[in-house]
Amino acid sequence: MSTRTTIRFAGLVPLALTGMLIAGCGSTSTTTVGSNGGSQPASGGSSSGSSSGTGALDGIGHPINICSLLPVATVASVSGEPLTVAQEKDTPGYKIYTCDYASADGTSGLDINVLAMDAAVGYQADVAANKTVGSAGQYTTISGLGDKAFSSITGVEALFGNVSITVSNLNATSAAETLIRDLQPKL
């Protein structure tokens, strides 16, 4: 696990605890996406979880499949990485939607994450974590991307209302910003 991923998870701990208190137990769905961009649920069932509707802290109100909205070929082209595999790793109960993109040999990859519940709180927790976990020198605010955005050792995160989009494990900040700009209107 890379340092960026570890720090990212550290920032998600307060959010996960809040989510557990609010939503109770969630479920996980996994979808594998091949290089052609088509998706198939790993379990053979439906890849979209049920949604209980839009709550006060819910930024979207419906499940999403990032791997379908940003096919692996698109992410590979924008990032410049040799990506050929995409795997959806959602936690619908907490309205966390994630796609892990990787090269066939697993030597390179990146994650795109959408948080649609308590995202403003989660964003602030991530800002605080990135400022205090030894990466303060690499923390930079980004203007013109969402309501608020920053880049740091963990990646690029942008807040749009009560939805946050994060691109992790990609060293090219401009490519991460492009992926966020491509995904946001599709939500």
Structural domain including 7 reads 3-186
Per-residue pLDDT tens for 86-102?
Answer: 999 999 999 999 999 99
Output phi, psi for 39, to 5 deg: -120, 155
Per-residue pLDDT tens for 48-83?
Answer: 333 344 444 677 888 999 999 999 999 999 999 999
Residue 56 · residue 48 · CB < 8 Å:
no
Would you tell me how many other CB atoms lie within 10 Å of the CB of residue 136? 11
Put simply, whether the predicted model's pTM sits higher than 0.75 gets the answer no
For the chain, the average pLDDT equals: 77
* Tally of domains in the chain: 1
Confidence of residue 13 (pLDDT cuts 50, 70, 90): very low
